[in-house]
Amino acid sequence: MSTAALLVIGNEILSGKVRDTNSPFLAIELRKLGVDLERIVTIPDVIETIARETRALSSAYDYVFTSGGIGPTHDDLTMDGIALAFARKVVLNQSMIERMERYSDKPINDAMRKMAMIPEGAEVLDVGGLWFPVVVVANVHIFPGIPELFEKKFHSIRDRFTGVPFHLKRFYVRENESEIADILNALLREFPELMLGSYPKVNEASYRVLLTLESRDESYLARAVDALARELPDGAIDRIE
């Protein structure tokens, strides 16, 4: 199956000044596509750190995504770090300059020119309607940290990422988790390939535990759902979705 990792870059994330919402967004979207997001790493704006983590993730996963550090200011060092990771120069990309000229009503200044400096040989993907493209180096896809732009750019190229999607069923259960733990353990012995999650809830009026059952095999999931429904005590299930 296809695997992925996300490298979140920014002192503002590590200091708590900005909340990272790109990680949960990407996790949800990749799961829909059947790509396993197996690692999320958050690092500061340090070129050598960006390079080291990029190299490690690129060699370990099919797809790597980065979030943050591609703006015009002093702390936007992602392009330099990724260039270092692959031993490439950072060069001015003329097609990006031309995009800026088409979209901007002001002359191109040094700050804008900095944003067109990318690793040599990088692939530049058009994301229609946004002047700044998605830059790809090897299997590393470079995204901005601004959530609105991250999401728009991902949706514009999501067809590049494929896998076998998961099927999901949710059980809303009125029993406490401790009262159904033996049933869940037995279910996993019977269905060892099942992905089973158990999440206690405190302030829900109608149920106490949310159970999630997932599998890429729809018939396998259906059998597990039937087995769990049979084993739970009478009246324990609030609903199944």
Walk along the chain (241 residues) and give the pLDDT tens digit of each residue.
899 999 999 999 999 999 999 999 999 999 999 999 999 999 999 999 999 999 999 999 999 999 999 988 888 999 999 999 999 999 999 988 888 888 778 888 888 889 899 999 999 998 876 778 899 999 999 999 999 999 999 999 999 998 888 999 999 999 999 999 999 999 999 999 999 999 999 999 999 999 999 999 999 999 999 999 999 999 999 999 9
Token pair listed for 176? 């406490």
Q: What is the DSSP letter of 4?
A: E
Token pair listed for 140? 């590393």
Token pair listed for 194? 């099942």
